[in-house]
Structure 1
């Protein structure tokens, strides 16, 4: 059976840390210690891309931070359960250069590359907007307001200019707002604190951005802290100091499921206004066994996910219970359940609780 496909688009201004994040994301989850603890590992589908990412990370250990990417990158990762040969999930990672949101294309070739890259937005279940933690720490809420205003204006411009050329841009409906360079903040600072500050001080800008993206619930309820590496001025980078990197793929998975629930709820006229996400998920599960095409194509993956992970796992199952379910699945050779249950468990461990917060 082919792996499940998850598509994620990552955005951020130049210097926000997208290039470093990708290298740290890949390196951390290819290590034997990660596979032992989380029961899965990842592998780049393209060997050359995997080697390039590892090379970037090892240069990071020497204190050599890579230059930001100036081109659109598409990288595919397969997620393999521990000791099982078959991939369970394939993540398609679309990395949009920060310069594309700041400058005009330099020539016709770059203009075409931008057009092709933006068309892939419609395939993405989840978008990640990366806020620069260093700028947020030094400039405060004014930086976040600027980021939302700038991103909203650029999305609106791209939508209008692409429509004029016959290429309608479709943005992801589900988003995660992530704060990079989280090692610059106190150890007790968590994603919940970031959420409180943003929702308190930039609510008008959030509303504008959601309106431009035509997704009223897109921003404002999923927040992450990400520290790819700690970078002390007088020491080498310690690869064990990352935060949130291991939580990122599970957050994308859960966001995809939540998006599908909202899509399904929106099509039901009899839905109660007070219906919770988990009530909607329960209804969604009831449809799965008999109907595969009731959702838009990019969300049909969810019908497969829900065959292997109980909706209770998303709601309240304890970490120790999830880990037991995961180990049982490994013994049975149940590829999908092992990886997906492992990801849900990662949101509930100590790092996941600090790095990821959802307020709805």
Structure 2
């Protein structure tokens, strides 16, 4: 794993010369960003294709949600953005945790270095002063310990004789095992193979390296050549060059055709209703788990912090070799046929006290990189 736009030096720098106080002062007031009233609100919960094979049929999906819930979660997203932008020393990770429709108060989960708790707690108290729809929970974490080794057999696809290679099958590069994502489409409608960038080592050079698919323990075939690397969101795009084509599907039982993806507020809606996500990985196969945090930031390892992260499931949901898989759930309009993607899976916690899987949400990949599932 590598970090995104905020460096470790920025995260750990001393809060001298009033830097912390100045950063927090810039976050207030927040009243101007809160929607007035508690009337029911229409949200766009996803973007999906009427014909899963035709990008021209992409359209927004809408639904109505309680106004007080929408006010709380929208305000939480804004406060969280301001918190992250303040560059408070010691911040390792954070995410918005939506409330339920019956109890709409949202919260922000914050992970800090052990010696930074008092600074961050004080800063949060100042930021949340007078805010009645939002709470915060600060956890001390130390992710410096050794990561446990992956266990379990690789889940090889039952057949790779078809020309279409679905998401969920084992892939990799130069001995590194990962999981293939369903097809990613660029702004011009071209489809690519995709998986996690960290399988290809550090850096963001657009070196055309091979992405291979594993038929079994001894056999591999070339899927394509990596043309674009996105280390900040931790994924790559590979142009097909072999016997297989990218396909908008996952090797999953039940509905498996990817028709589109959830928005940020759509993921919050799933969390509010307690709707779980699924994934298919090369190491752990099919697993499921609840959404635990949205629009997160992770700075646990590597050289970059990542924004737009989705927390879900637990440590057992994901293991080494599952990187590059996607999380998804059935399409509400076609639950027996299609699925909508939440995001890419890239890592899991490995330290005591926390238990979730994380990766870049699909909406972040679209907003920053112009690609979509």
Q: State the TM-score bracket (shorter-chain normalisation).
A: under 0.3
Structure number having the greater helix percentage: 1
Length-normalised TM-score, structure 2: 0.25
Length-normalised TM-score, structure 1: 0.26
